[in-house]
Amino acid sequence: MKYPGLYNSADMASNEQQATFLSLIRAEYVILFSASVLSLDLWPSKAYFGVYAAVFLCSMGILIFRSVTKPEQVWYQARALAESVKTLTWRFAMRAQPIDDTRAADARADFRKLMEGILDSNRRDSPLKERKELYLQTRICEQRKWYEKKARSNRDPQKFGWALV
């Protein structure tokens, strides 16, 4: 299966941010281990306490950098985008819901429209109020419709071979 370029970009961004996040975590662990060794006060001198202060400052720098850049959030968002595109691509290839199965031109139009929706919902620069409204309209309303449709189709006891006595 050849995925759209959006999948490749999101997948690469996810992998890069995951690597960044894990590198920062590893660096924090190394520095914390170093700080624990230094806390033993093995050679009390000015140089020793200078190294101890440098280790402390490095740990604070990494913590602040990780708090500001939030690579784990970018990693999760990029992964979610990549997986959404992958799922939609497979649905397009199999002509599964919500892709129209009647004509190829309709399926392509549906695919493009749904891809635009995925892109719009994954833009991070929208204000929170707009993102909440988009989520409500696209995700919650569509999910509610899907469950209502399923509930209606499952009301028929004959569908499951049950007979009402």
| CA 143 from centre of chain | 19
User: Between these two residues, 65 and 98, which has the higher pLDDT value?
Assistant: 65
The predicted model scores a pTM of 0.65
Domain locations in the chain as residue ranges: 5-122
Assigned token pair, 46: 């000015």
pLDDT given at position 101? 67
Q: Among 122, 120, 94, 121, which residue's Cα sits nearest to residue 107?
A: 94
Give residue 44's identity as a one-letter amino acid code. P
Contact of 37 with 129, CB cutoff 8 Å: no
Is the predicted pLDDT of residue 84 greater than 80, yes or no? yes
* pLDDT, tens digit (0-9, with 9 covering 90-100), for 56-73: 999 999 999 999 999 999
Contact 70, 76 (CB under 8 A): no
